[in-house]
Amino acid sequence: MSDELAKAYDPREVEPRWSRFWEENGFFTADPRSGKRPFAIVIPPPNVTGSLHIGHAFTLTLQDVIVRWKRMSGHDVLWLPGLDHAGIATQTVVEKQLAKEGKRKEDLGREAFLARVWEWKETSGGAILKQLRLMGFSLDWTRERFTLDAMLSRAVREVFVSLFEQGLIYRGSYIVNWCPRCVTALSDLEVETEEEGGSLWHIRYPEVGGGPGIVVATTRPETLLGDTAVAVHPDDERYRHLVGKSLVLPVLGREIPVVADPFVDREFGTGAVKITPAHDLHDFLAAQRLGLPAINVMDERGVLNQSAGPYAGRDRFLARDAIVTQLSHEGLLVNTVPHRVPLGHCQRCHTVVEPRLSLQWFVKTKPLAEPAIAAVEDGRIAFVPESWAKTYFEWMNNIRDWCISRQLWWGHRIPAWTCRGCSELLVAREEPAACPRCGGRELAQESDVLDTWFSSALFPFSTLGWPDRTADLARYYPNDVMMTGFDIIFFWVARMIMMGMRFADDVPFRTVFINGLVRDEKGEKMSKTRGNDVDPLDLIARHGTDSLRFTLAALAAPNTDPSLGEARLLGYKAFVNKLWNASRFLLLNLSGERAARYEFSSLPVASRWILTRAQEVAERVDSALGGFRFDLAAHEIYHFLWDEVCDWYIEIAKTLLARPEEAPRARAVLLEVLGTSLRLLHPMMPFVTEEIWQRLPHEGPSIMVAAFPRPDASKTDPAAVAEMQRLQRIVTELRTIRATYEVEPKRRIDVTMAAPAAPDRAFATGHAELIRSLARVERLEVVSEATDAPRTVKHPVEAFELRIPMAGLFDIAAEKSRLDRERRKLEDELTGLRARLGNPQFVERAKTEVVRESRERVAELTTRRERIEATLRELGSDSVA
Ligand SMILES: [Zn+2]
Ligand SMILES: [Zn+2]
Nearest ligand by distance to the CA of 432: 2
What letter represents residue 185's amino acid?
Answer: A
Residue 326 has pLDDT above 60, yes or no: yes
Task: Point out which residues pair with 479 in neighbouring strands.
Answer: 509
Beta strand 272-275 pairing with 777-783: unpaired
More confident position, 348 or 861: 861
Higher pLDDT, 549 or 881: 549
Residue 464 pLDDT greater than 60, yes or no: yes
Closest CA to 703 of 99, 80, 116, 138: 138
Band of pLDDT at residue 817, cut at 50, 70 and 90 = confident
| Distance between Cα 163 and ligand 2 center (Å) | 23
CA of 750 to the centre of ligand 2 (A): 106
Query: Average pLDDT in the 474-500 region?
Result: 95
Of 221 and 785, the one with more pLDDT: 221
* Ligand 2 centroid, distance to 111 Cα (angstroms): 25
Whether 877 shows a pLDDT value over 50: the answer reads no
Q: How far is the CA of 778 from the centre of ligand 2 (A)?
A: 104
Residues 771/727, Cβ–Cβ less than 8 Å: yes
Q: Is the pLDDT of residue 374 over 90?
A: yes
**According to the model, what pLDDT value does residue 878 have?**
46
Tell me: the pLDDT tens digits for 134-170? 999 999 999 999 999 999 999 999 999 999 999 999 9
What is the rounded distance in angstroms from the CA atom of residue 20 to the CA atom of residue 23? 5
Q: How far is CA 382 from CA 240, 390, 402, 752, in A?
A: 56, 11, 25, 60
How far, in Å, from the CA of 416 to the mean position of ligand 2?
13
Q: What is the pLDDT of residue 539?
A: 94
Nearest ligand to the CA of 89 is 1
480: DSSP letter: E
> Could you tell me the distance, in angstroms and rounded to a whole number, from the CA of residue 95 to the centre of ligand 1?
13
Q: Which ligand is nearest to the CA of 349?
A: 1
Residue 637 — pLDDT band, cuts 50, 70, 90? very high
Query: Taking residues 234-246, what's their average pLDDT?
Result: 91
Query: What pLDDT does 3 receive?
Result: 60
The confidence band for 881, taking pLDDT boundaries of 50, 70 and 90, is: very low
Distance (angstroms) between ligand 2 centre and the Cα of 444 equals: 11
CA 429 / ligand 2 centre spacing (Å): 18
Residue 556: per-residue pLDDT: 95
State residue 593's pLDDT score: 63
Question: Is the pLDDT assigned to residue 561 strictly greater than 50?
Answer: yes
Please report which helix (H) or strand (E) contains residue 198, including its range.
Answer: strand 191-205
pLDDT tens-digit map of 49-78: 888 899 999 999 999 999 999 999 999 999
- What average pLDDT does the segment 522-549 reach? 90
Top mean pLDDT of 166-170, 486-490, 521-525, 770-774 is at: 166-170
CA distance linking residue 569 with residue 563, whole number of Å: 11
Q: Relative to the alpha carbon of 420, which ligand is closest?
A: 2
Residue bearing the bigger pLDDT, 495 or 849: 495
Ligand index nearest the alpha carbon of residue 91: 1
Q: 178 CA to middle of ligand 1, Å?
A: 8
Model pLDDT, residue 403: 86
- Type and span of the H or E element at 760: helix 758-766
127 pLDDT band, cuts 50/70/90, is confident
pTM for this predicted structure:
0.80
CA of 159 relative to ligand 2 center, distance in Å: 25
pLDDT tens figures, 708-723: 999 999 999 999 999 9
Starting from the CA of residue 353, give the closest ligand.
Answer: 1
pLDDT in tens, 201-224: 999 999 998 889 999 999 999 999
For ion ligand 2, residues whose CB falls within 5 Å? 419, 421-422, 424, 435, 437-438, 440
Residue of 400 and 326 predicted with greater confidence? 326
CA of 87 to the centre of ligand 1 (A): 12
| d(CA 183, ligand 1 centre) in Å | 7
Residue that wins the pLDDT comparison between 464 and 798:
464
Query: What is the chain's mean pLDDT, rounded?
Result: 91
* d(CA 186, ligand 1 centre) in Å: 9
Separation of CA 441 and ligand 2 centre (Å): 8
As a whole number of Å, the CA-based R_g of the chain is 39
Q: What is the structure's pLDDT at 811?
A: 74
Tell the burial category of 571 from Cβ atoms under 10 Å away from its Cβ (0-12, 13-18, 19+). Answer: middle
